[in-house]
């Protein structure tokens, strides 16, 4: 037997190495060992502003080299994809330059800090698509197998015409007033607070699961703690004697209407004491309901109105069967997956799309749509819950 031809390589250059950088790096390492991919992702270069910290992260994550200026990644022939894991303020600049330089791009959510930035990014992705260059927005919760199954069931009509969506994403890591003023609490760096950080996931999931776009919103938002200690430069902790203004929302609630008339309600907060990472979404249709809780990541709740009323009720579907989305590549039935696997699935889907010259989902256009909803929510909250239409694409 002759030797197999060498597998094509997809060199990954990552900008940013903190929380999301660690999750993405693990995914790039793992994906080719689990899935049969058409090309092999390679951790080529990690970029960060602090040379020592970047080098230490590169050693932990398995990157072959480091850079301290993301622009140098665009000049490297061994980097084919730029993975943007930086704060939102730099997403547009890095992603647009990368696409124009002929690099594929994966950009963490929310896509940008403003609608104008997201529009420019979507336009750059459109230009790049004509040259075979692909771009994806990193909404990893689409890759939870139970969520992907819910999409199949809802899209296949199993719960009928969808009437309601209710979604919440609750965390508690900001309840301590002594928590320092990190970049996530500054509008110039993050764009918004719980709205963009958590609410963007809910908006994307609502639209993804229903196949409908949000057309209008009415919102309230608040900032519970308006000043926090400044963190010392280049270190952890805080400076309790020096305070800075919190310029983003701590919590937001809003109602919405989707394109087919579906009613929806959303809540996102980082002040729900005892809730560490509690995401839940439920869809009610005229034939049944679906519900997902991130705390039970491998399960989907399904209610079928066609069943006999004497025994009908929500059933627990353990989403670990080989016929369920993504599961054929993993373990025997009943052997559950975790949060980190969503990023592995994301990486595998993007590599497959790039090799197949297909448009990955969610696209930058999808990310732009979410950004338009976030802007409408922020505008409504600023105008005391005034009903605010979401501009249509085009």
Domains contained in the chain, CATH given: 9-140 (3.40.50.720), 145-338+363-389 (3.30.360.10)
**pLDDT attached to residue 298:** 98
CA 233 – CA 65 distance, rounded (Å): 26
Is pLDDT at 236 greater than 90 in this prediction? no
Backbone torsions φ then ψ of 24, nearest 5 degrees: -70, -40
94-134 per-position pLDDT tens digit: 999 999 999 999 999 999 999 999 999 999 999 999 999 99
Q: What is the mean pLDDT of residues 364-368?
A: 98
**pLDDT attached to residue 170:** 98
Q: Which residue is listed with tokens 């305070």?
A: 243
**pLDDT attached to residue 355:** 96
CA 270 – CA 252 distance, rounded (Å): 10
**pLDDT attached to residue 393:** 83
| The pair of three-digit structure tokens given for residue 248, joined into one six-digit string | 């983003």
What mean pLDDT is reported for the chain? 96
**pLDDT attached to residue 232:** 81
Identify which of 195, 188, 213 has the alpha carbon closest to the alpha carbon of residue 249. Answer: 195
**pLDDT attached to residue 6:** 78
Report how far Cα 104 is from the mean position of its chain's Cα atoms: 18
**pLDDT attached to residue 160:** 98
Q: Please, which pLDDT band fits residue 239 given cuts at 50, 70 and 90?
A: low
Identify which of 170, 165, 200, 110 has the alpha carbon closest to the alpha carbon of residue 295. Answer: 170
243-269 per-position pLDDT tens digit: 999 999 999 999 999 999 999 999 999
Q: Please, which pLDDT band fits residue 240 given cuts at 50, 70 and 90?
A: low
**pLDDT attached to residue 241:** 75
Do 61 and 83 meet the contact criterion of CB atoms below 8 Å apart?
Answer: no
Q: Please, which pLDDT band fits residue 86 given cuts at 50, 70 and 90?
A: very high
Is pLDDT at 1 greater than 70 in this prediction? no
299-319 per-position pLDDT tens digit: 999 999 999 999 999 999 999
Task: Please compute, for residue 176, the number of CA atoms within 13 A of its CA located in the half-sphere on the CB side.
Answer: 10
Do 197 and 277 meet the contact criterion of CB atoms below 8 Å apart?
Answer: no
């Amino acid at each position: 037997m002759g030797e197999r031809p060498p597998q094509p390589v997809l060199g990954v250059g990552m900008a940013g190495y903190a929380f999301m950088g660690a999750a993405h790096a693990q995914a790039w390492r793992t994906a080719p060992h689990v899935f049969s991919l058409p090309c092999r992702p390679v951790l080529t270069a990690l970029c960060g502003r602090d040379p020592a910290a970047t080098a230490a992260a590169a050693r932990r994550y398995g990157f072959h080299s480091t850079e301290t200026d993301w622009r140098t990644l665009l000049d490297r022939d061994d980097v084919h994809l730029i993975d943007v894991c930086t704060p939102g303020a730099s997403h547009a600049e890095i992603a647009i330059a990368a696409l124009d330089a002929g690099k594929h791009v994966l950009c963490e959510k929310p896509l940008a800090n403003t609608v104008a930035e997201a529009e420019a990014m979507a336009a750059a992705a459109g230009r790049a698509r004509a040259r075979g260059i692909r771009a994806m927005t990193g909404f990893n919760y689409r890759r939870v197998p139970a969520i992907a199954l819910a999409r199949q069931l809802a899209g296949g009509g199993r719960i009928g015409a969808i009437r309601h969506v209710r979604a919440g994403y609750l965390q508690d890591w900001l309840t301590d007033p002594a928590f320092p003023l990190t970049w996530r609490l500054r509008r110039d760096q993050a764009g918004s607070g719980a709205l963009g950080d958590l609410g963007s996931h809910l908006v994307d999931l609502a639209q993804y699961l229903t196949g409908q776009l949000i057309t209008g919103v009415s919102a309230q938002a608040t900032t519970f703690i308006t000043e926090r200690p400044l963190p010392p430069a280049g270190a952890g902790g805080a400076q309790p004697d020096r305070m800075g203004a919190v310029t983003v929302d701590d919590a937001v609630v809003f109602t919405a209407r989707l394109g087919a008339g579906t009613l929806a309600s959303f809540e996102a907060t980082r002040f729900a004491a005892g809730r560490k990472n509690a995401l839940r979404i439920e869809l009610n249709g005229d034939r049944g309901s679906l519900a997902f809780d991130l705390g039970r990541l491998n399960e989907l709740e399904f209610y079928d109105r066609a069943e006999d009323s004497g025994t009908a009720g929500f059933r627990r579907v353990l989403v670990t069967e080989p016929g369920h989305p993504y599961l054929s590549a993993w373990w025997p039935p009943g052997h559950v997956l975790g949060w980190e696997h969503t990023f592995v699935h994301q990486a595998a889907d993007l590599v497959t799309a790039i090799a197949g010259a297909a448009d990955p989902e969610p696209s930058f256009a999808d990310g732009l749509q979410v950004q338009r909803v976030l802007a409408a929510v922020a505008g409504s909250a600023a105008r005391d819950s005034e009903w605010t239409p979401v501009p249509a694409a085009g």
